[in-house]
């Protein structure tokens, strides 16, 4: 049949319509009935503009006998998008097409675990946004290949390379199992919507392997992964909230490691007095307070965005801006374990410090830590090993670190708050106290025999505590230049902003990939 533009364009239009049907009207309706969108609808929500690649790729439908009975559009959609004026690579599985199974049926993967969309992010040095909803593996792939294949033949190299090159942001919206779950956690920021699940193997696999019957939400529910395992950073109310969080996080990060993050709005006066701090920090040193309120007071108005609020709760990690400069803010949390650093909090801090260092975000650390968490449970969870890794990460950070001492600073955990081998800028408020360990516990441990032999042990203990408390007067440390600055808390915003602005000169000269690899987890 002779070529005509009319017939060629009609064929193009027909195939375009078929691609838009995805798994068919019935499956799309089922997806909507469960409160979930199709992949193109999700991309449409986050992207102002989207140019799809591989739109006409298909996969063969086979019956139980292996006979091909038709075709459906590929289970993966990807391409080049624009989010708030920034070009990004976007991709994701569509659950209506064979439950988002991998594209072993294609000559080249479009995405999911490597593939075109990741090459696009790598070659063009643009952020990668992934929507994850897929089964991760599919035994029916053997029908397409004609043989079973070894998973070790599949390369993860590009996925891991991207971690030291461009921001990788992931949303799990539905079920993510096997390889899809694995790909979700290889990210700089991850969010999972309520009702979604993530696991290495689902309930049928668990039942077959272990003989245990378990509900999918008990096994790998969104709430569990954002409050216990820490496999996912943030929990979202729904898909719209998850997409809004992706957009918000992207706003703090540069296009790639060869650029600095864009400076934001500077309408909040840099010299604004932080008067609220005098009310937030109790005069009674034994009373806890909300460190998040301290953070919100110091940073630019409405700029604080917390990462991982549900797990590792002894530390708070967040993005924010100060005088428009994107920063990473870390703070010990007196409302959980009195701020003591346990293994989970140390792991959370490590990951966040690495993220800030990778993408050139200065770190502001607000200190109120009584030390490493102690006790049998803390030891079983590796507090010493994880705590020392937290110290290592802050020492290896390749960005300015400004440390603000709010109240307590005791023991080895304090070493995880600043780097003495760099500038090590530490700013203290008059509310501070510090030392090898709190005086009360230290007297009990160091003078136990003398206390036991004293005529009046309680009087002896109290006298020893009073004597050592006098020596622990923080002003003595400041006078010895063991602390760089002591300031009125109300001046904190201005002082920190001054040093952050000065630090930008050095950061501009260091922009580029780090010599060390980004660590996804310790």
Higher pLDDT, 438 or 242: 242
Answer yes or no: is pLDDT of 519 > 70: no
Residue 517 domain-assigned (yes or no):
no
Of residues 277, 317, 283, 279, the one with CA closest to residue 297:
277
β-strand partners of 93: 76
* Shared domain check, 245 and 288: no
Q: Determine the structural domain holding residue 84 and report its residue range.
A: 5-252
CA distance 387 to 389: 5
With both helix axes pointing from N to C terminus, report the angle between 492-510 and 291-298 in degrees, rounded to the nearest 10: 70
Average pLDDT over residues 342-361: 97
In whole numbers, what is the pLDDT of the chain averaged over residues? 91
Position 521 confidence tier, pLDDT thresholds 50, 70, 90 = very low
Position 86 confidence tier, pLDDT thresholds 50, 70, 90 = very high
* Shared domain check, 223 and 127: yes
Of residues 103, 71, 83, 81, the one with CA closest to residue 180:
103
Q: Are 301 and 332 in contact (CB under 8 A)?
A: no
Q: Are 265 and 300 in contact (CB under 8 A)?
A: yes
The two three-digit tokens of residue 365, written as one number: 């650390």
Query: Phi, psi at residue 53, to the nearest 5°?
Result: -120, 135
* Shared domain check, 226 and 311: no
Residue 71 is predicted with a pLDDT of 83
Residue 467 domain-assigned (yes or no):
no
* Shared domain check, 191 and 130: yes
* Shared domain check, 55 and 165: yes
- What domain count does the chain have? 2
Alpha helix (H) residue ranges in 47-168: 116-124, 141-145, 157-162
CA distance 207 to 213: 5
* Shared domain check, 117 and 244: yes
Average pLDDT over residues 301-310: 98
Answer yes or no: is pLDDT of 148 > 80: no
Residue 425 domain-assigned (yes or no):
yes
Residue 461 domain-assigned (yes or no):
no
Q: What share of the chain is helix, strand, coil (3-state, %, to 5)?
A: 40, 20, 40
Three-class SS state of 34: coil
Answer yes or no: is pLDDT of 504 > 60: yes
* Shared domain check, 281 and 236: no
Question: Which has the minimum average pLDDT: 239-248, 319-328, 508-517?
Answer: 508-517
Q: Give the CATH number, domain containing residue 232.
A: 3.90.226.10
Residue 342 domain-assigned (yes or no):
yes
Residue 408 domain-assigned (yes or no):
yes
Residue 327 domain-assigned (yes or no):
yes
Answer yes or no: is pLDDT of 224 > 50: yes
Q: Are 257 and 360 in contact (CB under 8 A)?
A: yes
* Shared domain check, 237 and 312: no
Q: Are 372 and 340 in contact (CB under 8 A)?
A: yes
Residue 439 is predicted with a pLDDT of 60
Residue 448 is predicted with a pLDDT of 77
Higher pLDDT, 141 or 224: 224
pLDDT digits (tens, 9 = 90+) for 94-135: 998 888 877 777 889 999 889 999 999 999 999 999 999 988
Higher pLDDT, 503 or 106: 503
Residue 442 domain-assigned (yes or no):
no
- The pairing of strands 168-177 and 189-193 is parallel
* Shared domain check, 316 and 227: no
Residue 522 is predicted with a pLDDT of 42
Three-class SS state of 408: strand
* Shared domain check, 333 and 236: no
Residue with tokens 């959980």: 336
* Shared domain check, 211 and 323: no
Q: Are 239 and 42 in contact (CB under 8 A)?
A: yes
* Shared domain check, 317 and 232: no
CA distance 217 to 222: 7
Answer yes or no: is pLDDT of 137 > 70: no
């Amino acid at each position: 049949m002779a070529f005509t533009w009319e017939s060629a364009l009609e064929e193009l239009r027909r195939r375009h319509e078929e691609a838009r049907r995805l798994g068919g009207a019935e499956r799309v309706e089922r997806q909507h009935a469960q409160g979930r969108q199709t992949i193109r609808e999700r991309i449409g929500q986050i992207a102002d503009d989207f140019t799809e690649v591989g739109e006409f790729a298909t996969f063969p439908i086979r019956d139980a006998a292996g006979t091909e009975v038709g075709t459906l559009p590929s289970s993966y959609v990807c391409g080049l998008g624009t989010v708030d004026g920034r070009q990004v690579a976007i991709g994701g599985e569509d659950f209506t097409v064979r439950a988002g199974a991998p594209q072993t049926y294609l000559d080249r993967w479009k995405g999911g675990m490597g593939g075109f969309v990741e090459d696009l992010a790598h070659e063009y040095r643009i952020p990668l946004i992934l929507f994850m909803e897929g089964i991760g593996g599919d035994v029916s792939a053997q029908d397409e290949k004609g043989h079973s294949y070894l998973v070790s033949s599949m390369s993860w190299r590009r996925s891991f390379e991207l971690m030291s090159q461009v921001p990788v942001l992931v949303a799990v919206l539905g079920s993510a199992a096997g390889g899809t779950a694995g790909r979700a956690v290889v990210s700089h920021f991850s969010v999972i919507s309520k009702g979604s699940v993530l696991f290495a193997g689902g309930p049928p696999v668990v039942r077959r392997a272990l003989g245990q019957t378990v509900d999918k939400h008990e096994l790998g529910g969104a709430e569990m992964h954002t409050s216990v395992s820490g496999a996912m950073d943030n929990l979202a109310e729904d898909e719209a909230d998850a997409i809004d969080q992706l957009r918000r996080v992207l706003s703090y990060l540069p296009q790639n490691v060869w650029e600095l993050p864009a400076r934001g709005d500077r309408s909040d006066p840099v010299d604004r007095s932080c008067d609220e701090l005098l009310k937030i920090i109790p005069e009674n040193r034994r009373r806890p307070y909300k460190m998040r309120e301290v953070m919100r007071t110091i940073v630019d108005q409405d700029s604080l965005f917390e990462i991982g609020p549900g797990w590792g709760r002894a530390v708070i990690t967040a993005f924010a801006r100060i005088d428009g400069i994107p920063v990473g803010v870390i703070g010990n949390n007196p409302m959980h374990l009195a701020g003591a650093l346990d293994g989970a909090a140390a792991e959370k801090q490590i990951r966040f410090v690495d993220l800030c260092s990778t993408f050139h975000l200065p770190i502001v650390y607000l200190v109120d830590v009584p030390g490493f968490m102690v006790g049998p449970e803390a030891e079983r969870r590796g507090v010493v090993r994880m705590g020392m890794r937290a110290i290592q990460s802050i020492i290896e950070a390749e960005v300015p670190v400004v440390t603000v001492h709010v109240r307590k600073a005791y023991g080895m955990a304090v070493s995880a708050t600043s780097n003495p081998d760099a500038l090590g800028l530490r700013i203290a408020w008059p509310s501070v106290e510090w030392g090898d360990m709190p005086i009360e516990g230290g007297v009990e441990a160091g003078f136990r025999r003398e206390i036991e032999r004293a005529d009046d042990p309680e009087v002896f203990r109290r006298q020893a505590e009073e004597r050592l408390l006098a020596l622990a007067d923080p002003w003595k440390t400041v006078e010895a230049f063991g602390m760089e600055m002591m300031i009125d808390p109300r001046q904190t915003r201005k002082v920190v902003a001054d040093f952050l602005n000065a630090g930008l000169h050095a950061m501009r000269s260091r922009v580029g990939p780090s010599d060390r690899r980004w660590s996804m987890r310790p």
